[in-house]
Amino acid sequence: MDNHAAAARAAELRKLLNQYSYEYYVLDRPSVPDAEYDRLLRELQEIENAHPELITPDSPTQRVGGEPLSGFAKVVHDTPMLSLANAFNEADLRDFDRRVRETAGDPYEYVCELKIDGLAISLKYENGLFVQGSTRGDGTIGEDITANLRTVRSIPLRLNEPVTIEARGECFMPKKSFEALNRIKEENGEEPFANPRNAAAGSLRQLDPKIAASRNLDTFMYAIGDTTGLNIATHSEGLAYLEKLGLKVNKETRICRDIGEVLEFIAEWTEKRPALPYEIDGIVIKVNDYAQEAALGTTVKSPRWAIAYKFPAEEVVTKLTGIEVKVGRTGVVTPTAILEPVRVAGTTVQRATLHNEDLIREKDIRIGDYVIVKKAGDIIPEVVRPIPERRTGEERAFSMPSHCPDCGSELVRLEDEVALRCINPNCPAQIREGLIHFVSRNAMNIEGLGEKVISQLFAHELIHNVADIYRLKKEELLQLERMGEKSVSNLLAAIEASKKNSLEKLLFGLGIRHVGAKAAKILAEHFETMERLSEATREELEAIPDIGEKMADSIVAYFENEEALGLVRELAVLGVNMVYKGPKRAEKRNADSPFAGKTVVLTGKLVNLTRNEAKEKLEALGANVTGSVSKNTDLVIAGEDAGTKLAKAEQLGIEVWDEAAFLERLNS
């Protein structure tokens, strides 16, 4: 076969095989027998082996997995992948509905979706070709798992249209695949996976894509990353568009006109849940209209226009054999129940939180009790209550210690607090926990520096404060247990990379009292540099929205402490970034900007700017850029070939600028 004929036949085979794969894995309607698919695939492989130049990124032969990776690169999400707030009962849902009605007004409607129990992923396509897949990570930064996602058959390597788009969804392991995988693990004498979610996450984080390819993963896509430029006004239209492009969308989705219909949908799927071929752990409820979503907005952690109803947690009975106390990074002493091992919600539980001494007394929990245990939010094990009728008389009441178990200092209970606290600033437990917090995902996010490694470094006196992390030497690390050449190199590279984090990551990592991730972001956006923040007065801090009196006092006190200030200076000398790198918050001095406080929609094709560039410029000048036109829209900027959004703007009498007028105002 000559080159021309081979190229033509390879193109024909790719088209056929991709269509058959779409019918089988996405539509669940195979049109040809497996033997025919396999025959055509072998033919394509033979052509590509003879003519390697004909191999294309969207060829079905490229799904089997390439060479093993050395690690996963970090990916910064263009738009944050926010997590959802949770609802656990009808009251939570009605409260959510009330907040929506107060802001969105009537009419409004919800889209209800099954909450797939898997791993959140982002898929990027350029001109219809799959170019990058990543995990959610901390919502801002994920991991590049493109090679592994290419092996998932329900993910098209080429879309039905040559569009540039980001699709978001869930990668999961079907029940049958999970059961088959665990049978193999047990036969090999390996520890089985606890649940399909862990199995999916473990498969996608394999450095060898061939392992991921063997795990029979699947996907459902549930959102478009950025709808700017698309003539789509609602979430349901967005789902239909994803499906049109060839992506797999869950069919068990329903538009509900009010919260009553939402509750009916939840009741239906609470009953039908066991019959599904995949695991779900709840129902996601979203406001359908994009303009109403924009009006509702988001918090730092989650959108206000969506909520996840979680199915009631599984409850089991086990014996409480003891209670241990642990000192946290702020000195709070927390009691933890030691349990006879028991399976709860797919994992074996041996420890569970008891929160504080008052709760133990209130619930009358005793050592030796049989207790009911559940996972709060299906994640954190907790003791619900004891079972008094099973007591034998040998059970013992528990009392909190009077002195810190780590440093021996007397424990105190501060005013208006229920928890006992160690107030010794040199307490080793607090220092160790502070180090663990500093490297955690929402803080400096240093991969490879987990709790065990930090504890090991601390025990060997290689680190005493967070600055010491940046002084670690290869030779020192190689002396430690389970530290080989490769793992040490990867760890030092991760430490070095963390120096480039934006200011808010460092602020949160420092563990300033009352300053959580949201507050750290607000402070970083406002002051932009650590130096400016360190010089801020209480009055300046309290003037910032969401920064209250307690937090302001805590921040000022932190930077007045010479030891804390010295640590910050030390980190700066070691090369840790002290500047905010995120998008700048619109300042009051931009109040004279024609865009300040305006809701703006971009539509059509811009010639002189990319859509993202235009969006960034508008937001820097105080505009709120949304994806759909509504009565709340102040301005529409229409490029070439503007469609329905322009028509709607004209219908509603909204001001419209062409690109020339927009550029003129930008440059004026």
**Is 115 annotated as catalytic?**
yes
- Residue 252: both structure tokens together: 């068990």
Distance from C-alpha of 628 to C-alpha of 598, rounded to nearest angstrom = 14
Name the residue type at position 476.
E
Pairing status of strand 254-256 against strand 315-327: unpaired
Contact in structure between 416 and 450 (CB atoms under 8 Å):
no
Q: Which long-range contacts (CB under 8 A, 24 or more apart) does 384-388 make?
A: 384/315, 386/320, 387/317, 388/364
Distance from C-alpha of 546 to C-alpha of 357, rounded to nearest angstrom = 31
Secondary structure (H, E, C), 128-167? CEEEEEEECCCCCEEEECHHHHCCCCCCCCECCCCCCEEE
Q: How far is CA 6 from CA 42, 45, 158, in A?
A: 14, 12, 21
Distance from C-alpha of 437 to C-alpha of 507, rounded to nearest angstrom = 12
The closest alpha carbon to 122, from 98, 87, 155, 160, belongs to 155
Contact in structure between 303 and 89 (CB atoms under 8 Å):
no
- Residue 443: both structure tokens together: 């803080």
Contact in structure between 14 and 59 (CB atoms under 8 Å):
yes
Computed over its alpha carbons, how large is the radius of gyration of the chain?
Answer: 28
The closest alpha carbon to 208, from 153, 149, 148, 267, belongs to 148
Instruction: Write phi, then psi, for 201 (nearest 5 degrees).
Output: -65, -45
- Residue 326: both structure tokens together: 């642990």
Count of all residues that appear for the chain in the document: 668
User: Is residue 298 classed exposed, middle or buried when 0-12, 13-18 and 19+ CB atoms within 10 A define those classes?
Assistant: middle
Distance from C-alpha of 328 to C-alpha of 351, rounded to nearest angstrom = 16
Question: Whose structure tokens read 């008052």?
Answer: 358
| Residue 181: count of CB within 10 angstroms of its CB | 20
- The three-class DSSP label of residue 202 is helix
The closest alpha carbon to 148, from 209, 208, 75, belongs to 209
168 pairs with which residues across the strands? 122, 223
User: Is residue 378 classed exposed, middle or buried when 0-12, 13-18 and 19+ CB atoms within 10 A define those classes?
Assistant: buried
- Residue 586: both structure tokens together: 């619109």
Distance from C-alpha of 610 to C-alpha of 607, rounded to nearest angstrom = 7
Q: Please tell me which residue in 15, 74, 115, 645 is annotated as part of the active site.
A: 115
Name the residue type at position 475.
E
Q: What angle do CA 309, 312, 316 make, to 5 degrees?
A: 155
- The three-class DSSP label of residue 402 is coil
Sign of CA dihedral 513, 515, 520, 526: negative
- Please give the positions annotated as active site: 115
